[in-house]
Structure 1
Amino acid sequence: MSAPLLIIAAGGTGGHMFPAQALAEAMLEKGWRVRLSTDARGARYTAGFPDAVEVTVVGSATFARGGIVQKLAVPFRILAGIAAAKWRMLRDRPAIVVGFGGYPTIPAMTAAWALRIPRMIHEQNGVLGRVNQLFAKRVDQIACGTWPTELPGKIAGTHTGNPVRAAILEHAGSPYIPPGEYPMSLLVMGGSQGARVMSDMVPPAIAALPEHIRRNIRVSHQARPEDIERVTDYYASELISADVQTFFDDVPRRIVDAQLVISRSGASTVADVSVIGRPAIWVPFAAAVRDEQTANARQLVEAGASVLMPEAEFDVQTLTAKLTDLLSDEAGMLQMAIAAAGCGVPDATTRLVDMVESLAEAGKT
């Protein structure tokens, strides 16, 4: 008898692919076969997946990009993808199909719904994405990476948390050194591509800090390529020790070392910071249609672990005042770190695996 098959459907962003990879690795360890259905963008992330994962690349079909001709072709490409997915599932019937969001999940999830195969979705953010919203009433269960997650109507979700990388888990609940009269590390991140607002506001806000705080500051600052030179030069002109890069390949270590994180509140970043347990200032991406980054930070803010600063309020003077308050409050920052760790879900992958196995088992009856 062959091993049960799990089909994972995930769109082409890291936010969808990283938790999908964590589930794939865990299910392979349990003896399952795993097939990933994604698009060309998602295929760029598959290098991190185990070789045992079979990758199926479906045509990208989104109304968000392309000209009028391409948009008119989208429904036909989706229908073709659904037909192909159904044919594959009839040939090799999966025990369960799990969607992580993004347009490439539509064919697999629709085929599973039509064939009455057990199915569930995992939503990383605190608000359902467009595709997960489409399938929310057509799946057996919804796993929520952020809690609480805004769900439509009377639909219930299960809080699993967002799976994090092994490098983050190694530092789960690391001891925190609160700010004091010694070198203090600030980690500034703006998402996968950096964020101009961070480069515009954070350096001058740090420069304006009272001298007894400023002299101890060490900064790790992620910036866009076009901002690297000016941000580096500004820190140097103000005699502030700073490491400015477009990408940090050692983010887990930098989070551990940080007295404070200043960042966009993407779901993966929020999960990483909370599992390690660090105080943070979250600056949600203002242009997000569903304002999901505000929702992502909600639990940490309500727990007293973080401060939320909407972009409209994220100016130099306000940030300087907030940094001064935080970095002068040793006891308060220690409590924030403890509260952050209390919101972390280091066993998120295990919770997700348990849901998958339970649903697949129920589907046999």
Structure 2
Amino acid sequence: MKVHDFYFELPEELIAQEPLKERDASRLLVLHREDGKIEHRIFRDIVEYLDEGDCLVLNNSRVIPARFFGVKEDTGAKMEFVLLKRIDKNRWETLVKPGKKAKIGARFLFGDGELKCTILENTEAGGRIIEFEYDGVFEEILDKLGQMPLPPYIKRQLKDKERYQTVYSKVEGSAAAPTAGLHFTKELLDRIEKKGVKIVYVTLHVGLGTFRPVKVEDIKNHKMHSEFYIIDDKTAEIINETKKKNKRVFAVGTTSCRTLETAADDNGIIHGKSGWTDIFIYPGYKFKAVDCLITNFHLPESTLIMLVSALAGREKIMEAYNIAVKERYRFFSFGDAMLII
């Protein structure tokens, strides 16, 4: 299957630059997999599609303010660092711009020098392994000096940092938000729970690799980035019980979906576990755990549009996306939502 099979024309003005005032007021395109039927709703109507006994799976990862601006210690040259992955207490894998100034052994200062780092080694992907030096609590310094690493297609500065967090975000570690969950409010989750739907949480720390384009022509040759996930035994038990009763598992976002499919065995049984996943889901994949998916509208030719095509069928997804463009839906992180049922 070729990468161009997942291309569609997207006018730039449909890329949402900021979130709506009300989280659950986004539009919702409902795609019925069986017959391709499409409905146009508002996100808070999602309650109507969930039944008693179903299970809603949310990713509770929280975005860290992972973008830093500093200077080279010896020259004062300005530098940008983005934290990608924590290796241990003080060592991180990062992206650095401009990379040519970030040679092994180079030192950099942030703020008034309250945070320093040294370049330890280069990575295969072109990043750097760095080691931080500081006095005090790293997370407090991070919150003070760091900025939210918004996606490259969002050009406006976000006024309220919490709008790039889900209302249930809890476990810090993501470099990008699990954006399908941005539409939920606490009140909406209460309504869903009162309907008898079980709500559970998994953790997958989203990396910036989620924005990495597929550069190979044949998608089977694409190397997926890896991300850390956690699913506990209690959550696994609830999901397995849902499946046993022939009720449905709704994954909120491609991150929750990838976590569940990673943690499921060949019989569809979810196991509590944690680790790194580089699962790449594209058409032809047989889903083991996920029945329905709540997601946003994704970039053309991205691994994310390939994942949703695996669940609903490429032709149905491309048709739905073309309709979404025609109907002026808002796309990407702060855009509208889609329910595949």
Structure with greater Cα Rg: 1
Common fold by TM > 0.5: no
Structure with the largest fraction of strand:
2
Q: TM-score, normalised by structure 2?
A: 0.31
Q: TM-score, normalised by structure 1?
A: 0.29
Structure with the largest fraction of helix:
1
